[in-house]
Structure 1
Amino acid sequence: MPTTAPTAAPTAAPTATARALVAPGKGLLAIDESQPTMTKRLARIGVESTGATRLALRELLLTTPGLEEHVSGVILYDETIRQRTSSGALVPELLAGAGIVPGIKVDRGTVPLAGSPGELVTQGLDGLRERFAEYAALGARFAKWRAVLRIDATLPTPACVSANAHALARYAALAQEAGLVPVVEPEVLMDGAHSLERCAEVTAQVLREVYAELARQHVTLEATLLKPNMVLPGTLSPETGTIEDHVVAERTVAVLRDTVPASVPGIVFLSGGQSPQEATARLDALNRLPAPQPWQLSFSYGRALQAPVLDAWRGEPANVAAAQAVLAERARLTGAARRGRYDRASEPAAPVAG
Structure 2
Amino acid sequence: MTTQAQQDMLAKVKNEVGFIAALDQSGGSTPKALKLYGVDESAYNNDEEMFTCVHQMRTRIMTSPAFTGERVLGAILFENTLDRDVEGLSSAHYLWQQKNVVPFLKVDKGLEDEADGVQLMKPIAGLDELLAKANAQDVFGTKMRSVVKLANKAGIDAIIAQQFVVAKQILAAGLVPIIEPEVDINSPEKAPAEVLLKAAILAELDALSDAQHVMLKLTLPESNNFYKECIEHPKVLKVVALSGGYSRDNANQRLSENKGMIASFSRALTEGVSFQQSDEAFNATLNNAIEGIYQASNT
Instruction: Tell me the TM-score range normalised by the shorter chain.
Output: 0.7 to 0.9
CA contact (8 A) 2:153 2:196 kept: no
Code of the aligned partner of 1:270: L
Is 1:137 the equivalent of 2:101?
Answer: no
CA contact (8 A) 1:84 1:90 kept: yes
CA contact (8 A) 1:225 1:266 kept: yes
Question: Which digits, 9 at most, give the CA deviation of each residue in 1:171-227, with x for residues without a partner?
Answer: 2111211111111111111124x3xxx533311211221332345565845x32111
* Match for residue 183 of structure 2 among 163, 168, 188: 188
Could you tell me the TM-score, scaled by structure 1's length? 0.74
Query: What are structure 2's unaligned runs of at least 5 residues?
Result: 45-49
Question: Which digits, 9 at most, give the CA deviation of each residue in 1:300-331, with x for residues without a partner?
Answer: 1111111222xxx2x34x62332122111111
CA contact (8 A) 1:25 1:336 kept: no
> What is the aligned partner in structure 2 of residue 247 from structure 1?
none
| Number of residues of Structure 1 aligned to a counterpart in Structure 2 | 288
More divergent stretch after superposition (205-214 vs 91-100): 205-214
Higher Cα Rg: structure 1 or 2? 1
> What secondary structure does 2:128 align onto?
helix
> What secondary structure does 1:122 align onto?
coil
> What is the aligned partner in structure 2 of residue 245 from structure 1?
none
Identical counterparts, % of pairs: 25
Cα distance in 1, alignment partners of residues 101 and 257 from structure 2: 26
Q: CA RMSD in A?
A: 2.6
* Counterpart mapping for 1:54-133 below 5 A: 54-68=54-68, 69-85=70-86, 87-97=87-97, 98-112=99-113, 116=115, 119-133=118-132
> What is the aligned partner in structure 1 of residue 161 from structure 2?
166
Cα distance in 2, alignment partners of residues 91 and 14 from structure 1: 16
> What is the aligned partner in structure 1 of residue 270 from structure 2?
306
* Match for residue 227 of structure 2 among 250, 256, 263: 256
Is 1:297 the equivalent of 2:261?
Answer: yes
186 and 301 in structure 1: CA distance in 2 versus 1, 3 angstrom threshold: same
* Match for residue 47 of structure 1 among 31, 40, 44: 40
> What is the aligned partner in structure 1 of residue 252 from structure 2?
280
Code of the aligned partner of 1:88: G
Code of the aligned partner of 2:173: A
Query: What are structure 1's unaligned runs of at least 5 residues?
Result: 1-7, 233-250, 288-295, 341-354
Cα distance in 1, alignment partners of residues 14 and 254 from structure 2: 17
Cα distance in 2, alignment partners of residues 16 and 170 from structure 1: 27
CA contact (8 A) 1:96 1:102 kept: yes
The alpha carbon displacement at 1:284 in A equals 2.0
Is 1:227 the equivalent of 2:217?
Answer: yes
CA contact (8 A) 1:145 1:184 kept: yes
Could you list the structure 1 runs, at least 4 aligned residues long, displaced by more than 4 angstroms after superposition.
10-16, 214-221, 258-261
The alpha carbon displacement at 1:56 in A equals 0.8
Is 1:26 the equivalent of 2:25?
Answer: no
CA contact (8 A) 1:82 1:138 kept: no
335 and 190 in structure 1: CA distance in 2 versus 1, 3 angstrom threshold: same
Cα distance in 1, alignment partners of residues 240 and 60 from structure 2: 23
Could you tell me the TM-score, scaled by structure 2's length? 0.86
